[in-house]
Amino acid sequence: MKAYCASFNVGNVEVWGTNLYLDKNSVFLEIKESKDEIFERIDDFSLSVTEEKLDSIWSEVILNIKKYGKYKDKINELDFFILEQPILEKFGSCNIG
């Protein structure tokens, strides 16, 4: 059994992440619903990434995450990706949405 979450980093620092879900589509839904929060967290951390820049790449970010499980912008040091983690049922329950 596998669970999924997303992590959005600036450089090597995670600035936003999703909960852990059994359904990958739930991760995409949380990403879409949290767009403003993601932008705010990135803006708080990085002065070089403007909201206008994020708006211009947002569609590409979503498409790449869905298709490849990741998006990397080397110029602005943005790194967005889906993490796939195995769940070991014998160790009890996890906090999964």
**Does residue 72 belong to any structural domain of this protein?**
yes
**Mean of the per-residue pLDDT values for the chain?**
87
**Does residue 96 belong to any structural domain of this protein?**
no
- Look up the pTM and report it: 0.79
Domains held by the chain: number: 1
The residue segments making up the domain with residue 43 are: 2-90
Dump pLDDT digits (tens) for 53-85.
Answer: 888 899 999 999 999 999 999 988 899 999 998
**Does residue 15 belong to any structural domain of this protein?**
yes
d(Cα 80, Cα 1) in Å, to the nearest integer?
Answer: 23
**Does residue 95 belong to any structural domain of this protein?**
no
**Does residue 97 belong to any structural domain of this protein?**
no
> pLDDT band for position 39 (50/70/90)?
very high
Output the pLDDT for position 89.
61
| pLDDT > 60? residue 19 | yes
* Cβ atoms 61, 76 nearer than 8 A: no
**What does the CA dihedral 26, 75, 43, 16 come to, rounded to 10 degrees?**
30
**Does residue 36 belong to any structural domain of this protein?**
yes
